[in-house]
Amino acid sequence: DSGVTQTPKHLITATGQRVTLRCSPRSGDLSVYWYQQSLDQGLQFLIQYYNGEERAKGNILERFSAQQFPDLHSELNLSSLELGDSALYFCASSPRQGARAFFGQGTRLTVV
C-alpha cells in the first residue's frame, strides 16, 4: 500500500460526459502528479501541483483540468469525453518536488 488513495477504482461513462477523479496523497505530501496510461501511449505525465499551485504541465488536453485543494487532495476533471480518453489514470504524491513519487492504484476510465 503506497498510501495514495484514488477513487473511484472503475468508472464507465458515455461520450460527451464529464467525470471527476479524486486523489488523496500520502499524509504530509505536498506534491501531486497525474498520469494517463492508455494502451497505445504508455504512461504520460499530465500535470503536477505543489502545495495548491500548478507547477508543471505535460500532455494535458484542454478538456481536462485539475486542482489541488487546501487539504492537499487533488481532483482531475475530464469533460466532453471521447472514446480515446479511455485509460488508466494514476495519481502520485511526493513530499517535495524531485523526491521519489508514490503512486496510487489508479482509476480505470471506460468511455462508451
Partner 1 sequence: DAKTTQPPSMDCAEGRAANLPCNHSTISGNEYVYWYRQIHSQGPQYIIHGLKNNETNEMASLIITEDRKSSTLILPHATLRDTAVYYCIVRVGETSGSRLTFGEGTQLTVNP
Please give the grid coordinates belonging to residue 7: 477513487
Q: How far is the CB of 53 from partner 1 (least distance, A)?
A: 12
Compute CA 43 distance to the chain's CA centroid, rounded to the nearest angstrom. Answer: 12
Measured from the CB atom, the residue of 35 and 64 that comes closer to partner 1 is 35
What amino acid occupies position 88?
L
Measured from the CB atom, the residue of 43 and 112 that comes closer to partner 1 is 43
Measured from the CB atom, the residue of 46 and 111 that comes closer to partner 1 is 46
Residues that bind partner 1 (CB under 8 A): 2, 4, 31, 33, 35, 37, 42-45, 48, 55-56, 58, 88, 90, 92, 94, 96-106, 108
Measured from the CB atom, the residue of 13 and 102 that comes closer to partner 1 is 102
Q: How far is the CB of 108 from partner 1 (least distance, A)?
A: 8
Q: How far is the CB of 104 from partner 1 (least distance, A)?
A: 5
